[in-house]
Amino acid sequence: MKTRILTLVALFVFATVSTAFAQAKRIDAQASSVKWTGYKVLGQHEGTIDFKGGALEFKDDKLIGGTFTINMATINTTDLSGEYKNKLDGHLKSADFFDVTKYPDAILNFKKVVETDDNVYRVDGELTIKGKKSPITFDMEVERNSAEAKLKVDRTKYGIKYKSASFIDGLKDKAIKDEFDLHVELKF
């Protein structure tokens, strides 16, 4: 009986000590950035979205996890101005796309992190947009107090089917591609 109790105490202490070395580093939401690029048959549009918050988790200076929240109401088109910019920004915020009134946040949670090279990690995560969760995999490079990642997101996995040739026939040059790109630069 004493052996079992000592074993349980030892396991508890070991688990507590090993998690004590994990360190969460909060991102500087103002200095960090998310740039998006959306594609249509005859062109593309670019813009930014702001972070609400987030952190990367490290153990022994190695990335082991992370979680981030994006403020979807901050979708901003940067390649247009005036009336056209305002129309596109409004449309992206509408129910046709991200429905930011009903779903103000997008959330990314890291599920598995594997180092593939010095300071380069393969991240298996779960991305939540419009209340729908879908797995996503990407590479992240971490250097000192910064990190960078490029993600490809299939909008249709989150119920965003507006002008998708995968769901609507006959769109031709009016189609909007299902995938969009995110270029993320983190400062912490």
131 pLDDT more than 50: yes
Number of domains in the chain: 1
Is residue 6, in this structure, part of any structural domain at all? no
Per-residue pLDDT of 22-81, as tens digits, reads 899 999 999 999 999 999 999 999 999 999 999 999 999 999 999 999 999 999 999 999
DSSP of 39-100, one letter per residue?
A: EETTEEEEEEEEEEEEEEEEETTEEEEEEEEEEEEEEEESS--HHHHHHHHHHHHSTTTT-T
Structure token digits, residue 62: 């190695």
Report the CATH number that the domain containing residue 144 is assigned in CATH: 2.40.128.110
Residue 4 lies in a domain: no
pTM for the whole structure = 0.86
CA distance 110 to 121: 11
Task: Please report whether residue 11 resides in a domain.
Answer: no
The alpha carbon dihedral of 19, 134, 183, 27 has a sign of: negative
Domain with 52, as residue range(s), is 22-187
Q: Which two tokens stand for residue 107?
A: 């959330």
Q: Is 143 inside a domain boundary?
A: yes
Q: Is residue 16 part of a domain?
A: no
Structural Rg of the chain based on CA atoms: 20
**Residue 10, in any domain of the structure:** no
> What confidence score (pLDDT) does residue 170 get?
85
